[in-house]
Amino acid sequence: MTTRHTADPTPHATAPDLDADAIEAAAERIGNVVVATPLQLSERLSANTGAQVYLKREDLQSVRSYKIRGAYNVMSLLTEAERQAGVVAASAGNHAQGVAYAARTMQIHSRIYVPTNTPKQKRDRIRWHGGDFVELIAVGDTYDAAAAAAQADVLETGATWIHAFDDTRTAAGQGTIAKEIVEQLGVTPDLVVIPVGGGGALAGMVTYLRAHSPEVRIVGVEPTGAVSMSAALVEGGPVTLTDIDPFVDGAAVKRIGALGHRVMADAGATVAQHPDLPPSGTVHRGHEQLPAGATHITHVDEGAICSAMLELYQNEGIIAEPAGALAATVLEDLPIEPGWNVVCLLSGGNNDVSRYGEIIERSLVHRGLKHYFLVDFPQEPGALRRFLDEVLGPDDDVTLFEYVKRNNRETGAALVGVELGAPEGLGPLLARMDASRLKCERLEPGSPAYRYLT
């Protein structure tokens, strides 16, 4: 993953300062619209960690994510002239729903730009929330491309851009989550885990927690394929990632907001090791310890996120989108001490049911249960039967078999997907393949052939 420095494209020189007072004011402003979501004890995650783990259920907002907090706060501060001129937003889907909801509630016309890969479920919800007051425009394949189109619209029409994260008013609205957590828990939490996309919620929550509970530990979590906050802290300022994995669409941002970076840098944030980022002696270290008052950024693999999503669904009955499960995913990797009060922000529940096939696939690969091979079969009767009898183990299953017979060749290659009964079965499977007279080539995750396949 390479990075390049660019100027901050979204300055907000006229926006008010972000501080605890601004967050308190935002809480008053949005109180009649935003749901005070439950702080729910997770018995499973508590048992897994030895701590008291609570989920802040922002998936239960009217738009199924916390994004309504920031969007409504900004739009409630618009002047009458700004309302008449309309608003423009760019979003991976959740912020768009917040803007759409506010637009219809306040009767402000809006144009919302989303990436073309935004799940259909999110697009349908945006239209439903906005009704006649929203025009939805799909452009580009990342949030950043949609944001560029939104900026061009603002320059041409004079509409007000409602930024998804890099605006102190947006961050103040998101910061109200921290205020609710402290009030609902009744004591200062030992650790708060926050998902990171553009950094707006992180900036607001860190600002409030550091003002009211300076000893709390704060961990921000990014998807491994989009570590824009980590890159900014390592490089000393926001940079644009040249390549990201768009799977965690709610957090797949190429460039972190300047506001989020500034807040984290001022908080002395440390950064977990990432193979694609250069090390830095001042901020780069692992998360082997979390002293009181620590502020830390780490990342989790997309496959691990998928496993966490499935666990939340199967055990708690919670439908979380990939970005929504980020905070819960990292828990077992953190040095959590028994008895701690730990709060994870479950940030969104806008998941398209059509994505579950890919979610299950990524989870199986991450857990070491799913593997793919190119197998050169002799073109003779019984070849497949010998593969099933001699190569596969008793708990292994063929989940994919694609074969095209070549009449002018003695052998033909088949693409074979195998699901193991346990991760430890891979070594014996490879040994049986080596011992057979079949030529078997494993497709390694991350290779060009594997990426084409999946």
- Percent of all residues in the chain with a pLDDT value above 90, rounded to a whole number: 74
Q: Which residues contact 275 (CB under 8 A, 6 or more apart)?
A: none
Q: What confidence category does residue 1 fall into, taking pLDDT thresholds of 50, 70 and 90? A: low
**How large is the average pLDDT for residues 40-56?**
97
Residue 372: the pLDDT is: 93
Model pTM score: 0.88
Residues 159/87, Cβ–Cβ less than 8 Å: yes
The answer, yes or no, to whether residue 454 has pLDDT greater than 70, is: no
- d(CA 184, CA 176) in angstroms, rounded, equals 12
Residue 42: the pLDDT is: 97
Residue 13: the pLDDT is: 40
Q: What confidence category does residue 7 fall into, taking pLDDT thresholds of 50, 70 and 90? A: very low
Residue 8: the pLDDT is: 46
The answer, yes or no, to whether residue 142 has pLDDT greater than 70, is: yes
Beta strands 411-419 and 397-403 are: antiparallel
Span of 18-22, 140-144, 368-372 with lowest mean pLDDT:
140-144
Residue 196: the pLDDT is: 98
- d(CA 210, CA 264) in angstroms, rounded, equals 11
Residues 224/274, Cβ–Cβ less than 8 Å: yes
- Average pLDDT across the chain, whole number: 90
Cα–Cα nearest to 429, from 376, 377, 392: 392
Q: What is the 3-state secondary structure (H, E, C) of the chain?
A: CCEEECCCCCCCCCCCCCCHHHHHHHHHHHCCCCCCCCEEECHHHHHHHCCEEEEEEHHHCCCCECHHHHHHHHHHCCCHHHHHHCEEEECCCHHHHHHHHHHHHHCCCEEEEECCCCCHHHHHHHHHHHHHHEEEEECCCCHHHHHHHHHHHHHHHCCEECCCCCCHHHHHHHHHHHHHHHHHHCCCCCEEEEECCCCHHHHHHHHHHHHHCCCCEEEEEEECCCCHHHHHHHHCCCEEECCCCCCCHHHCCCCCCHHHHHHHHHCCCEECCCCCCCCCCCCECCCCCCCCCCEEEEEECHHHHHHHHHHHHHHHCCCCCCHHHHHHHCHHHCCCCCCCEEEEEECECCCCHHHHHHHHHHHHHHCCCEEEEEEEEECCCCHHHHHHHHHCCCCCEEEEEEECCCCCCCEEEEEEEEECCCHHHHHHHHHHHHHCCCEEEECCCCCHHHHHHC
The model's pLDDT over 171-218, given as tens digits with 9 standing for 90+, comes to: 999 999 999 999 999 998 999 999 999 999 999 999 999 999 999 999
User: What CA–CA distances, in Å, run from 386 to 64, 179, 409, 433, 441?
Assistant: 51, 64, 20, 11, 17
**How large is the average pLDDT for residues 249-273?**
94
- Percent of all residues in the chain with a pLDDT value above 70, rounded to a whole number: 92
**How large is the average pLDDT for residues 110-137?**
92
Q: What confidence category does residue 410 fall into, taking pLDDT thresholds of 50, 70 and 90? A: low
Span of 243-247, 379-383, 414-418 with lowest mean pLDDT:
379-383
Q: What confidence category does residue 286 fall into, taking pLDDT thresholds of 50, 70 and 90? A: low
The model's pLDDT over 355-406, given as tens digits with 9 standing for 90+, comes to: 888 899 999 999 999 999 999 888 778 888 888 988 999 999 999 998 866 5
